[in-house]
Amino acid sequence: MFKEIVEKEISTVFLNLKEFAQTHLINGQEKVCVTEQITATEKEPNTSGYVKYEGVHRSEKIIYIEASELEEVPIEGEILYFDSEMWIVEKVTEQDGLLKIEVGGNRSG
């Protein structure tokens, strides 16, 4: 009973378009999700193992989405297209039907 209540809250509150969620393209399909941009100050410096180049910066974000929204759960190392930008899946966790997908990639500018 409790699990069903939590799953309902995910879609009616957290992933509600009138509250926190937005529609984004994930691998070319419109999906309702919540995103969080991760800034460099929120992570330990240079722990990612990536080499820094001038004009290129590391960008990371977290995507929260209902597991039932995706045909397949992404796996670590897989390419994921989010709003037509290519990202690398770094970590995926699931709790009570909600996926937390951590992605990263190099960006210029």
The pLDDT tens digits for 36-47 are 998 654 455 555
CA–CA separation, 44 and 26 (whole Å): 28
**Residues paired with residue 60 on neighbouring β-strands, in sequence order:** 38, 104
Q: Which two tokens stand for residue 50?
A: 């990536």
State the virtual CA torsion across 49, 73, 71, 82 in degrees, nearest 10: -30
> Could you write out the three-class secondary structure of 70-82?
CCCCCCCCCEEEE
pLDDT tier at 7, thresholds 50, 70, 90:
low
Is residue 17 over pLDDT 60?
yes
Of 28, 22, 31, nearest in space to 84 by CA: 28
CATH number of 2-45+55-108: 2.40.10
Write down the pLDDT at residue 59.
87
Write down the pLDDT at residue 41.
47
pLDDT tier at 105, thresholds 50, 70, 90:
confident
Chain segment 26-65, per-residue pLDDT in tens = 999 999 999 999 865 445 555 555 555 566 677 899 999 9
End-to-end CA distance of the chain, in Å? Answer: 49
